[in-house]
Structure 1
């Protein structure tokens, strides 16, 4: 029987990867935001454009690195819905911090983003791993990467050994073997 640490290890690793992606994504957003501000663009338009650019980058970093799944058009189209919560929380936070509290417009988005982190993690996980309760354990008796309500199954959780060409298949098989009783 696996210990608590063994059961939690895949989730903790996923959270660490999410945090790393978040750091890179925040840096990308902030550099883009500052560059757009430097052009004389109004701060909220600069904020919105930088947000959209970083959201596309976030999609690809989270699919490939955080959740180790394949990007699909369906996931790509739904991913912005999960980021809508992030956008609302950070937008309201930025507006309140700049207009309500007088915080410098250069730093307000960074502070507002902190409140959005838990929401973004949970919602992106739900969209990118749709149909999977445990990304380290595939569904019993499933065949090659399946379609679950139109979303492709995770490459981190290949459902059959028939996909050896997948770069993450050996590590997923190793994870399955180490987590099974």
Structure 2
């Protein structure tokens, strides 16, 4: 998939750090939409919201790795990126699943709305983690 690396109309008007945040948001919208649709389908098929959440998260994680590495953080493929990426995602998954469970079971929140909040939690954790994993300043390539 060839995504534009430079957006001239964006580059001239917005600071690079904010451009990166905007690219992350764009990828996040795409990835979140795909993950949420998968969540709804799996929940309807199996009836277990935690299983549906975990499986949809893994599907989104695969899309996220490719798009965030190349488009958001403009990082080249290097050894040692996949394991930290997976660790960031496991941390994010644990937090978002915990939030989902808490909102549904303790606060009796509608499962679909609770999933949206859990996604917001995971997006915040992911951005901070991905920025570290894909940073060009990272010299410890394993």
TM range (shorter): 0.7 to 0.9
Aligned to 1:169: none
Normalised by the length of structure 1, the TM-score is: 0.66
1:60, 1:71 within 8 Å by CA — same for their partners in 2?
Answer: no
Does structure 2 retain, via aligned residues, the 8 Å contact 1:97–1:103? Answer: yes
1-structure distance, mates of 2:74, 2:112? 34
**Matching residue of 1:120:** 126
1:26 CA drift (Å): 0.8
Equivalent position of 2:68 in the other structure? 62
Instruction: Show CA shifts across 1:117-171 (max 9, x none).
Output: 3322111110111535xxxxxxxxxxxxxxx3226xxxxxxxxxxxxxxxxxxxx
The Cα shift of 1:24 comes to 0.9
The number of residue pairs the alignment matches comes to 130
Give me the TM-score of the superposition, normalised by structure 2: 0.82
From 136, 140, 150, the equivalent of 2:141 is 150
Conserved 8 A contact 1:94-1:108: yes
CA spacing shift, 1:71–1:111, aligned 2, 3 Å: same
Structure 1 regions of 5+ residues with no counterpart? Answer: 1-5, 133-147, 152-181
Match of 2:81 in 1: 75
Contact 1:89 1:113 in 2 (8 A): no
| Cα displacement string for residues 72-92 of structure 1 (whole angstroms, at most 9, x for unaligned residues) | 452122201112232122111
Task: Tell me whether 115-124 or 26-35 shows the greater mean CA deviation.
Answer: 115-124
Larger RCO of the pair (alpha carbons < 8 Å, separation 6+):
2
> Any gaps of 5 or more consecutive residues in structure 2?
1-11
Contact 1:83 1:124 in 2 (8 A): no
Q: Which has the larger radius of gyration?
A: 1
Structure with more of its chain in helix, by fraction: 2
Q: Deviation at 1:106?
A: 2.2
Shift of 1:69: 1.1
How many Å separate the matches in 2 of 1:80 and 1:29?
17
